[in-house]
């Protein structure tokens, strides 16, 4: 979408219902790569709940061939955003025929082609690129779709109702908004299965892929069946069609899409095999399949009234998929991983120029709001709600939500009302989590007087763009107390903070306890508390809460790195002794031990320093991280190989949590060992690897040891035919490159014949991998910034969505020194000055510039 003169801002407060209801939609597609004809027949009736009778049908990049109302040819007013015309004040039939060109649609929004296959992406506002329609989520209708074309497989939403030579028809009995529409057609093959629902209905399941990918569907299918069972058992939600189709598509802007009965997946988020996918790929695929499936109830049966309510479906569905993963795998490991991810992606967003509320109040381009704040903070908010009301009340509220709102397009007010009605609780203050942006900081102080232990909390949320003043929020702070022997004397209790400053007293204690604060990361906040190294080390050794045990270690690692970077100190050996005890404790889950061993990222350290009023120097952070790893390797050289041997997996490869945890610890240990042996162990692992997890971890160590050339070449020879594996090859080389050569490596990779900027996975592999190379991207002379900006400028005309999302790598620019800030600003301004910049990228760059 090209911006016109001034970008238009859309406001939540301006919401009004559409003037018409849509009683039914019939679509016929005559497929042709550059001249697909779409014939629509839509039954409209005046909406009794509406005050504005304007008949506006959205439409973009459509060639109108003809339009009729009740059979009479009409000539509507066509504008950039759609079509307007006079209509009867009684029910009427709208018919239109438009022509579109899927083949030349490089934005991957609407109907487009990927490797010769037709597919659609309609969320958020892509349906308007298919035909004229009220493309807004509160307009729900029943769709019947006929597809005409020579492709072997032709799919749409709902149930199949007929097919013959060159045609297929589908009918979806469930009313849905246009963003859930989907069509797929191509020469695909399926991996079929069946599922019997809790009430005994049989459902056909299929994963559709390009010929050659059939052997990569089995894991996704198992994940789908597990998700279906889980949603029945945990939420009482049953599937509601005769068929459920998943399609893998190579060119896709996001991870996957929950279209009713026809989920479309980025092939990287569904195709899996041990030889080509890592353990993390498997875990992610399981979670995304679950996520899209869970949307059938949280998103599809109950949808959003408008796009400001996006977190209604996304926050809840992320929360549900996290619960699922915790149930399928390890709960503490999932929680720690989610918090690592939240801090890496959502905290920078919430603490920088892109900060916005979980329910935003305005936007220019909705595609820019599929953010970590809406998804991940949205899920955290639901987690807090559940903590506050308790598990039983949460279940009752959800039952009420499904009962009351099935078939509706809802708001956050509707969502909170079911909790208020199910519990009798007033959630007015809690609602601030939806309207106030920014990460609250909570300062903690303690007092021990006359046998009474008191914790005092002070909350403060720094100003964010457009919101200078913040009110105190409701913050559930889970706390446990340990006595000096390490025994838990007060088990986890949730303190409900509602005021700006609040104290909580504990009596009956024999001695001053050691507090374990914010157990399980019970709220998405930053805790500010001066804690001695001894106390952190004590919690690392004794905390019964796995999250806080990990957190104590993380804080020790951060403190150690800060001292090394800022004060030129050496590594903290006392901490490393404590950490050694944990990683050698074979009663602990290897996955948990691997998380303990992973150091804060360089970007995280940049934020830590910035919070300490120290301008972060990316080179110094890189050097300190290297030094620390080198020191750990030397300090632990006596036991590294033996410990690594204890987690070697003998059994045939399985992508389960148990094996994955062992490989993950093994790979962290290999990284240390490589610093001692110069790559010998990594070379051996590379040679023996029979699965991608081991192959890739070995390759990455060889690259970091500067011994990767042969393996990089061998890997390419082995995998050049596999797109998804080659994405890893691209990403790893630029991600693992030494900072001073990262730009050169990136420049070399974009010259590679297999680099294809039109494929979002490939583009992200190189550009995302490069931006993750913290010190390489932030090279002092600004070459890294210029390189990335060149490519964003190059991609913008073709694919605004992916370009705009990638701009967020610049969001933390104000952390750095004035020289780097100047260099980044210059690149942002250069992007902004690009002629015909897309609305998507323009909005992102303008917000980042502030
Ligand atoms: N609703 C999908 C994500 C998604 C969002 C936007 C898209 O195109 C702009 C595509 C997919 C989900 O949450 O999985
Ligand atoms: Zn989603």
Pocket residues: Cβ below 6 A from ligand 1: 121, 123-124, 253-258, 291-292, 314, 367, 370, 801
Does the pLDDT at position 1 exceed 70?
no
CB-based contact 756:250 (threshold 8 Å): no
CA distance 704 to 727: 18
Select from 850, 812, 813 the least CA-distant residue to 832: 850
Cα 57 to Cα 22: distance, rounded to the nearest angstrom: 12
CA distance 470 to 455: 23
Structural contact between residues 799 and 837, judged by C-beta atoms closer than 8 angstroms: no
- Name the closest-CA residue to atom 11, ligand 1: 257
Return d(Cα 239, Cα 223) in angstroms, integer. 15
Probe target for ligand 1 pocket from 257, 258, 268, 373, with the most ligand atoms within 8 Å of CB? 257
| Burial annotation 642-664 (CB, 10 A radius, 16+ → b, else e) | ebbeebebeeebebebebbbbbb
- At residue 176, the pLDDT reads 99
Q: Which residues touch 802 (CB under 8 Å, ≥6 apart)?
A: 253, 760, 763, 764, 795
Ligand 2 center to 318 CA (angstroms):
7
Determine which one of 125, 148, 258, 292 is catalytic.
292
Q: Which ligand is nearest to the CA of 257?
A: 1
Q: Is the pLDDT of residue 526 over 70?
A: yes
User: Which H or E element spans position 475?
Assistant: strand 475-482
How would DSSP label each residue in 109-158? -EEEEETTEEEEE-TTTTGGGTS-B--STT--EEEEEEEESS-SEEEESS
Ligand 2 center–CA 317 separation, angstroms = 6
Around Cβ 674, how many Cβ atoms within 10 Å? Answer: 24
- Would the CA dihedral through 345, 351, 353, 356 be positive or negative? positive
Average pLDDT, the chain: 98
Using the atom order of ligand 1, give the atom closest to the CA of residue 252.
10
Nearest CA, atom 1, ligand 1: 257
**Predicted local distance difference test score (pLDDT) of residue 7:** 83
* Residue 488 three-state SS: strand
3-state helix, strand, coil in the chain (%, to 5): 45, 20, 35
Best probe residue, ligand 1, of 263, 370, 373 (max atoms within 8 Å of C-beta): 370
Mutate to test the pocket of ligand 1, among 123, 178, 321 (most ligand atoms within 8 A of CB): 123
In angstroms, rounded to a whole number, what is the distance separating the alpha carbons of residues 319 and 449?
41
Short-list 115, 284, 278, 281, CA closest to 211? 115
For residue 123, give the ligand nearest its CA: 1
> Is the pLDDT at 391 greater than 90, yes or no?
yes
| CA 445 / ligand 1 centre spacing (Å) | 43
DSSP per position, 349-400 = HHTSTT---SS-SEES-GGGG--HIIIIIHHHHHHHHHHHH-HHHHHHHHHH
Q: In whole angstroms, give the CA distance from residue 321 to residue 288.
A: 8
Distance (Å) from CA 302 to ligand 2 centroid: 13
**Proximal ligand: closest to the CA of 800:** 1
Sequence-separated (6 or more) residues with CB below 8 Å from residue 179: 122, 123, 124, 125, 126, 127, 135, 137
Integer angstrom CA distances of residue 72 from 86, 95, 269, 270, 368: 12, 9, 47, 47, 40
Nearest ligand 1 atom to the CA of 314 is 13
Distance 252 CA to ligand 1 centre (A): 10
pLDDT at 5: 58
What is the tens place of the pLDDT at every residue in 270-306? 999 999 999 999 999 999 999 999 999 999 999 999 9
pLDDT band, residue 6 (cuts 50/70/90): confident
Instruction: Note the ligand closest to the C-alpha atom of 254.
Output: 1
**At CA 425, angle to CA 422 and CA 426, rounded to 5?**
125
**What letter would DSSP give residue 330?**
-
Q: Which of 760, 756, 755 is nearest to 745 (CA)?
A: 755
Give residue 3's pLDDT: 44
Name the residue at shortest CA distance from atom 7 of ligand 1.
123
Closest-lying ligand 1 atom to the alpha carbon of residue 801: 9
Residue 292 catalytic? yes
292 CA closest ligand 1 atom index: 14
Residues, the chain: 850
Q: Would you say residue 203 has pLDDT above 70?
A: yes
45 three-class SS: strand
What residues does 249 pair with on adjacent strands?
Answer: 266
Give the CA distances from residue 689 to residues 151, 279, 530, 711, 726, in Å, rounded to whole numbers and listed in that order. Answer: 40, 14, 46, 12, 17
Q: Whose CA is nearest to atom 2 of ligand 1?
A: 257
Q: How far is Cα of residue 771 from the mean position of the Cα atoms in its chain?
A: 17
Residue nearest to atom 8 of ligand 1 (CA): 123
The alpha carbon of 126 and the centre of ligand 2 are apart by a number of angstroms equal to: 16
In Å, what is the CA distance from 609 to each residue of 389, 568, 605, 612, 844? 37, 14, 6, 5, 26
Query: Model's pTM, two decimal places?
Result: 0.98
* Three-state secondary-structure class, residue 336: helix
Which ligand sits nearest to residue 109's alpha carbon?
1
* Atom 12, ligand 1: residue with shortest CA distance: 257
Q: How far is the CA of 370 from the centre of ligand 1 (A)?
A: 7
Alpha-carbon distance values, 191 to 242, 251, 654, 775, 832 (Å): 16, 20, 20, 44, 46
Place of tokens 């997890």: 693
Distance 322 CA to ligand 2 centre (A): 12
Neighbours of 138 (CB within 10 A): 18
State the Cα torsion 715-718-722-728 to the nearest 10°: -10
Mutate to test the pocket of ligand 1, among 128, 251, 254, 297 (most ligand atoms within 8 A of CB): 254
| Residue 626, pLDDT above cutoff 70 | yes
Q: Which atom of ligand 1 is nearest to the CA of 124?
A: 9
pLDDT tens per residue, range 659-676: 999 999 999 999 999 999
C-alpha 251/C-alpha 184 separation (Å) is 13
- Ligand 2 centroid – CA 35 distance (Å): 32
| Cβ–Cβ under 8 Å, residues 37 and 97 | yes
Taking residues 206-228, report their average pLDDT. 99
């Amino acid at each position: 979408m090209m911006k016109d003169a001034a970008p238009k801002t859309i406001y939540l407060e301006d919401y009004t219902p559409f003037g018409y209801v849509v009683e039914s939609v019939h679509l016929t597609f005559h497929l042709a790569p550059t001249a697909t004809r779409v014939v629509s027949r839509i039954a409209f009736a005046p909406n009794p709940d509406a005050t504005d009778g304007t008949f506006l049908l959205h439409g973009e990049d459509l060639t109108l061939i003809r339009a009729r109302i009740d059979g009479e040819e009409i000539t509507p007013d066509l504008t950039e955003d759609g079509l307007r015309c006079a209509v009867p004040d009684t029910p009427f039939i709208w018919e239109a025929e438009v022509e579109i060109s899927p083949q030349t649609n490089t934005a991957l929004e609407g109907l487009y082609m990927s490797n010769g296959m037709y597919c659609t992406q309609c969320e958020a506002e892509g349906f308007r690129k298919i035909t004229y329609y009220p493309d807004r989520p509160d307009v729900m209708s029943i769709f019947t779709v006929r597809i005409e074309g020579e492709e072997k497989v032709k799919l749409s939403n709902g149930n199949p109702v007929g097919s013959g030579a060159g045609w297929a028809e589908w009918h979806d009995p469930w009313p849905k908004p246009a963003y859930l529409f989907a069509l797929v057609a191509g020469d695909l093959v399926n991996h079929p299965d069946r599922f019997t629902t809790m009430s005994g209905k049989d459902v056909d399941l299929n994963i559709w892929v390009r010929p050659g990918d059939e052997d990569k569907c089995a894991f996704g299918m198992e994940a789908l069946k597990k998700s279906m069972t889980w949603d029945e058992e945990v939420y009482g939600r049953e599937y509601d069609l005769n068929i459920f189709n998943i399609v893998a598509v190579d060119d896709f802007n996001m991870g996957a899409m929950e279209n009713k009965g026809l989920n479309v997946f980025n092939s990287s988020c569904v195709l899996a095999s041990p030889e080509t996918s890592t353990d993390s790929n498997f875990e992610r695929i399981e979670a995304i399949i679950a996520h899209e499936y869970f949307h059938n109830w949280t998103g599809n049966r109950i949808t959003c009234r408008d796009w400001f309510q996006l977190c209604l479906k996304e926050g809840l569905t992320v929360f549900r998929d996290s619960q699922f993963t915790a149930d399928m795998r390890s709960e503490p490991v999932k929680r720690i991983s989610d918090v690592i991810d939240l801090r890496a992606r959502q905290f920078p967003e919430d603490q920088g120029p892109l900060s916005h509320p979980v329910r935003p109040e305005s936007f220019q381009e909705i595609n820019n709001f599929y953010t970590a704040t809406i998804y991940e903070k949205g899920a955290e908010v639901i987690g807090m709600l559940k903590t506050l009301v308790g598990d039983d009340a949460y279940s009752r509220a959800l039952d009420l939500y499904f009962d009351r709102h099935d078939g509706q397009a809802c708001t956050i007010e509707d969502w909170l009302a079911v909790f208020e009605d199910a519990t009798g609780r007033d959630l007015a203050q809690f609602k601030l989590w939806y309207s106030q942006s920014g990460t609250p900081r909570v300062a903690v102080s303690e007092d021990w007087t006359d046998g009474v232990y008191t914790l005092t909390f002070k909350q403060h949320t720094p100003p964010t763009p457009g919101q200078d003043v913040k009110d105190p929020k409701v913050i559930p702070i889970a706390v446990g107390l340990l006595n000096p022997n390490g025994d838990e004397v007060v088990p986890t209790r949730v303190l409900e903070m509602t005021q700006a400053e609040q104290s909580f007293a504990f009596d009956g204690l024999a001695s001053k306890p050691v507090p374990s604060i914010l157990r399980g990361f019970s709220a998405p906040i930053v805790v500010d508390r001066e804690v001695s190294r001894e106390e952190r080390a004590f919690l690392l050794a004794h905390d019964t809460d796995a999250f806080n045990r990990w957190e104590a270690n993380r804080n020790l690692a951060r403190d150690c790195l800060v001292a090394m970077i800022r004060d030129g100190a050496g590594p903290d050996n006392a901490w490393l002794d404590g950490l050694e005890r944990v990683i050698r404790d074979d009663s602990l889950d290897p996955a948990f031990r691997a998380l303990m061993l992973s150091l804060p990222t360089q970007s995280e350290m940049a934020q830590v320093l910035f919070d300490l009023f120290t301008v972060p120097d990316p080179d110094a952070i890189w050097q300190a991280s290297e030094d620390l790893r080198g020191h750990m390797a030397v300090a632990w050289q006596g036991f590294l190989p033996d410990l690594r041997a204890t987690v070697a997996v003998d059994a045939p490869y399985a992508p389960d949590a148990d094996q994955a945890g062992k490989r993950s610890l093994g790979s962290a240990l290999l990284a240390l060992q490589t610093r001692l042996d110069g790559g010998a162990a990594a070379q051996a692992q590379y040679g023996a690897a029979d699965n991608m997890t081991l192959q890739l971890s070995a390759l990455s160590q060889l690259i970091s040891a500067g011994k990767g050339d042969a393996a990089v070449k061998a890997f390419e020879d082995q995998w050049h035919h596999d797109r998804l594996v080659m994405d890893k090859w691209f990403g790893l080389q630029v991600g693992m490159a030494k900072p001073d050569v990262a730009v050169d490596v990136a420049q070399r990779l974009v010259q590679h014949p297999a680099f294809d900027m039109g494929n979002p996975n490939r583009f992200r592999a190189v550009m995302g991998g490069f931006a993750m190379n913290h010190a390489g991207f932030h090279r002092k002379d600004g070459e890294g910034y210029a390189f990335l900006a060149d490519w964003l400028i190059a991609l913008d005309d073709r694919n605004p969505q992916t370009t705009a999302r990638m701009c967020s790598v610049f969001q933390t620019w104000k952390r750095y020194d004035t020289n780097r800030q100047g260099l980044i600003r210059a690149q942002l301004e250069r992007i902004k000055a690009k002629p015909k910049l897309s609305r998507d990228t323009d909005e992102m760059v303008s917000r980042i510039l502030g």
